[in-house]
């Protein structure tokens, strides 16, 4: 017979809370991961209640890994940000068997391993959910985050803790040597199983609440809840499949790591297989395609990963994706429906984009109502007409497309679509420039559609990131006549505060939140974001950063762009071509834009550009040439390493070359280097220069 909670001493409470945390976690794993409950539900509930009762009496003794923390914490206004110490990368996609062969061949070539020698590849289902990162320190779950942009995610610790399949402490075998790493960032996918998804939608329907289009949306909507107690009520599941920062690492292959994850209590997908050659990889893909519909969760392809971690390390990354892994996606889903009307959308830069409004149709679990038609040429090439029956295709997150028209089902009174010659919004002439397939409205910022789109762009996440102003609200403020341009937006509080508070759907709190967000922007925005936000045609984030990097301050940039030498200056910047340069110059020559920019820069504190600190290496900014055969790596590997150390690799020796890396049997390039007196370094020296 257990002692009553009221009679427990503090020491006894400490011991019992520790026991309960461990026991409940074991039961969770048996129930959720192994589908093999060890006790009845009533027994389980009894343990949870006892844990809660002890915690209520001794609140200071609540453990970090307490099972009661799985119900969620209090509601915050927004998620905190978490920087991933190792970025969460994405994968390149492939779609065919040939692509699989090409992937494997490339790996062999990069590593200099003959095709006759097998390289083990782990094939895993690609789970269609949302990726998470869970950081454990000394075996305890410390923080949880979403992927975000790969570098910075959202802090969803409270939400992750509500998912029973995520261990609050990594399970340790009795074996004393089996200690978890001091730190490990475990990554995987949060998903909702098909049965849980159907059940949730049924409950939502009964409560007259939002119906989710597919399990992925349901998982996303459930996980990213500021109120984690909502997450706690949804049944979410996870599969772990990767790690970020880890110290120390005790496994040598990816497969060993997956085995370790299981031991720690994480669910690992049961369909994973080690393949020894391309044929086995393709066989796995085909078998999984067959199995797909009978699996209790959605998958959208197969991920192939090089098994050996030392090879993974040598292969490294290209931009944001690893060379050692790739996603082989299932073919796009298709369905047939009626195209009701063709509508023309006017974009920020005046581009007229035709959009097909469809009879809503379920394409692989997602209800599709619209498809992009790209431009006039695309419509005439496919001879797409209103009222046609069309094949619609959806692949991953891309906008649905029309594959073809079923002409035998075409109504007899149908007629070819005529692309408008005037802007459907402002009536200005619509023109096509040169070879360009895109038709543009010539109304510029006099066209209301362009004004609205410019505003949407101005407040968007990557521009000024003004929270609380979704597309609908911008349209509303525009229709009211309160916000016609960006400067009106900055003056919204001054000119329309009371009216906004009184507007249906608004109120004191949301209006104040918006004013706070606008004031935050006024107090400081970095030059690169500002340049991106003002919406110069073709100037994306990367170009905005390049311009900011070159001019550092807004006053420098503005006076340069308004000077006679603007075009010439821009053409000297590497990465800016003549067309882009002309767009930038045109933008600053427009009187209307200049006036707006003067007013904006008076109200917004545009802070000088601070270039991100790059790790300096002895090779940073150096131009290098390789000659001869290298012994410890292939040429491709050497080139990739040199580039990530900041060097520029060129093929011919010239006076501008800084180093020539000389391998075995060096040829004419070495002679050339001698002639031009260029510094020659050995492979060993090259490796040392990388190693800092």
Taking the least distance from each CB to ligand IVH, the nearer of 126 and 457 is 126
Distance separating alpha carbons of residues 268 and 34, to the nearest angstrom: 11
Taking the least distance from each CB to ligand IVH, the nearer of 221 and 448 is 221
Chain position carrying tokens 């790591």:
257
Q: Smallest distance from the beta carbon of 219 to ligand IVH, in angstroms?
A: 11
Of 157-165, 321-329, 432-440, 484-492, the segment contacting ligand IVH by CB under 6 A is: 321-329
Among 28, 154, 185, 189, binds ligand IVH (CB under 6 A): 189
**Closest-CA residue to 276 (of 462, 116, 110, 163):** 116
Q: Is 281 in the site for ligand IVH (CB under 6 A)?
A: no
Structure tokens at 502: 């009184």
Q: How many residues bind ligand IVH (CB under 6 A)?
A: 15
Q: What is the CA radius of gyration of the chain?
A: 30
Of 122-130, 466-474, 587-595, 598-606, the segment contacting ligand IVH by CB under 6 A is: 122-130
Among 16, 124, 637, 683, binds ligand IVH (CB under 6 A): 124
Q: Is 220 in the site for ligand IVH (CB under 6 A)?
A: no
Distance separating alpha carbons of residues 681 and 622, to the nearest angstrom: 13
Q: Is 72 in the site for ligand IVH (CB under 6 A)?
A: no
Count of residues making up the chain: 692
Taking the least distance from each CB to ligand IVH, the nearer of 54 and 268 is 268
Distance separating alpha carbons of residues 80 and 66, to the nearest angstrom: 22
Chain position carrying tokens 């990594």:
170
Q: Is 240 in the site for ligand IVH (CB under 6 A)?
A: no
Q: Is 303 in the site for ligand IVH (CB under 6 A)?
A: yes
Taking the least distance from each CB to ligand IVH, the nearer of 67 and 322 is 322
Provide the annotated active-site residues.
126
Structure tokens at 47: 């343990």
**Closest-CA residue to 351 (of 479, 538, 529, 485):** 538
Q: Is 55 in the site for ligand IVH (CB under 6 A)?
A: no
Q: Is 395 in the site for ligand IVH (CB under 6 A)?
A: no
Taking the least distance from each CB to ligand IVH, the nearer of 43 and 149 is 149
* Strand ranges inside 493-564, DSSP E: 525-526
Of 121-129, 216-224, 229-237, 668-676, the segment contacting ligand IVH by CB under 6 A is: 121-129
Cβ-proximal residue to ligand IVH, closest one: 131
Structure tokens at 366: 């997602």
Half-sphere exposure of 531 (CA within 13 A, CB side): 30
| Backbone phi and psi for residue 6, each to the nearest 5 degrees, phi listed first | -65, -25
**What one-character-per-residue DSSP string does 570-624 give?**
HHTSTT--HHHHHHHHHHHH-HHHHHHHHHHHHHS-EEPP-PPPPPP-TTTT-EE
Q: Is 372 in the site for ligand IVH (CB under 6 A)?
A: no
Provide the total of helices (H) and of strands (E) in the chain, helices listed first: 25, 26
Of 108-116, 282-290, 320-328, 476-484, the segment contacting ligand IVH by CB under 6 A is: 320-328
Chain positions 325 to 364 lying near ligand IVH, rule: CB under 6 A, are 325, 327
Q: Is 166 in the site for ligand IVH (CB under 6 A)?
A: no
By CB atoms closer than 10 A (0-12, 13-18, 19+), residue 684 is exposed
Q: What is the per-residue binding string for ligand IVH in 76-95, x denoting contact by CB under 6 A?
A: -------------xxx----
Taking the least distance from each CB to ligand IVH, the nearer of 220 and 403 is 220
Q: Is 127 in the site for ligand IVH (CB under 6 A)?
A: yes
Distance separating alpha carbons of residues 501 and 619, to the nearest angstrom: 58
Q: Is 131 in the site for ligand IVH (CB under 6 A)?
A: yes
**Closest-CA residue to 67 (of 36, 99, 93, 31):** 31
- The site for ligand IVH (CB under 6 A) is made up of 89-91, 124, 126-127, 131, 147, 189, 241-242, 303, 322, 325, 327
């Amino acid at each position: 017979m257990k002692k009553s909670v009221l009679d427990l001493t503090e020491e006894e409470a400490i011991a019992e809370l520790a026991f309960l945390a461990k026991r409940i976690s074991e039961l969770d794993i048996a129930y959720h991961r192994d589908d093999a409950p060890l006790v009845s539900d009533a027994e389980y509930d009894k343990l949870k209640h006892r844990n809660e009762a002890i915690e209520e009496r001794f609140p200071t003794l609540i453990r970090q890994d307490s099972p009661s923390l799985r119900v969620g914490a209090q509601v915050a206004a927004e998620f905190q940000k978490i920087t991933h110490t190792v970025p969460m990368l994405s994968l390149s996609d492939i779609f065919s068997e040939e692509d699989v062969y090409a992937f494997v061949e490339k790996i062999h070539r990069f590593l200099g391993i003959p095709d006759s020698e097998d390289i083990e590849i782990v094939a895993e289902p690609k789970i269609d959910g949302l990726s998470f990162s869970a950081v454990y320190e000394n075996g305890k779950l410390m923080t949880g985050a979403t992927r975000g942009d790969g570098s910075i995610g959202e802090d969803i610790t409270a939400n992750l803790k509500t998912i029973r399949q995520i261990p609050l402490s990594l399970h340790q075998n009795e074996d004393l040597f089996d200690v978890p790493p001091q730190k490990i960032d475990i990554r995987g996918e949060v998903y909702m199983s098909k049965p849980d998804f159907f059940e949730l939608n049924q409950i939502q329907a009964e409560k007259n609440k939002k119906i989710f289009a597919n399990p992925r949306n349901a998982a996303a909507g459930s996980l990213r809840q500021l109120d984690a107690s909502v997450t706690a009520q949804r049944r979410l599941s996870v599969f772990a499949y990767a790690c970020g920062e880890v110290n120390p690492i005790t496994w040598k292959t990816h497969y060993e790591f997956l085995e370790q994850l299981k031991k720690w209590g994480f669910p690992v997908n049961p369909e994973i297989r080690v393949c020894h050659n391309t044929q086995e990889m393709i066989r796995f893909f085909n078998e999984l395609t067959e199995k797909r519909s009978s699996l209790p969760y959605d998958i959208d392809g197969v991920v192939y990963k090089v098994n050996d971690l030392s090879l993974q390390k040598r292969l490294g990354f290209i931009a944001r994706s690893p060379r050692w892994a790739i996603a082989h996606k299932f073919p796009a889903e298709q369905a047939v429906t009626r195209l009701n009307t063709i509508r023309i959308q006017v974009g920020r830069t005046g581009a007229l984009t035709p959009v097909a409004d469809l009879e809503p149709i379920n394409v692989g679990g997602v209800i599709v109502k619209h498809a992009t038609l790209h431009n006039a040429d695309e419509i005439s090439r496919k001879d797409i007409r209103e009222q046609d029956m069309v094949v619609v295709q959806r692949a991953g997150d891309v906008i649905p497309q029309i594959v073809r028209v079923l002409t035998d089902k075409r109504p007899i009174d149908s007629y070819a679509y005529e692309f408008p010659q005037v802007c459907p919004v402002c009536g200005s002439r619509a023109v096509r420039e040169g070879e360009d397939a895109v038709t543009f409205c010539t109304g510029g910022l006099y066209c209301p559609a362009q004004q609205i789109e410019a505003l949407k762009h101005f407040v968007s996440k990557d521009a000024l990131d003004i929270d609380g102003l979704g597309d609908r609200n911008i349209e509303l403020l525009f229709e009211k006549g309160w916000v016609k341009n960006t400067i009106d937006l900055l003056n919204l509080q001054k000119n329309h505060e009371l009216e906004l508070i009184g507007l249906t759907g608004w109120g004191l709190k949301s209006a104040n939140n918006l004013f706070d967000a606008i004031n935050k922007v006024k107090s400081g925005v970095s030059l690169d974001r500002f340049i991106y936000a003002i919406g110069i045609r073709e100037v994306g984030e990367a170009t905005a950063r390049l311009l900011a990097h070159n001019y550092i301050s807004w006053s420098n940039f503005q006076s340069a762009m308004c000077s006679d030498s603007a075009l010439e200056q821009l053409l000297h910047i590497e990465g800016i071509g003549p067309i882009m340069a002309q767009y930038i110059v045109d933008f600053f020559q427009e009187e209307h834009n200049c006036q707006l920019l003067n007013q904006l820069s008076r109200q917004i504190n545009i802070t000088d550009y601070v270039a991100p600190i790059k790790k300096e290496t002895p090779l940073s900014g150096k131009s290098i040439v390789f000659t001869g055969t290298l012994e410890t790596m292939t040429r491709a590997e050497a080139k990739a390493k040199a580039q990530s150390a900041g060097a520029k690799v060129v093929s011919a020796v010239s006076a501008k070359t800084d180093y020539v890396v000389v391998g075995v049997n060096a040829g004419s390039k070495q002679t050339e280097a001698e002639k031009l007196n260029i510094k020659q370094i050995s492979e060993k020296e090259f490796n040392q220069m990388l190693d800092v």
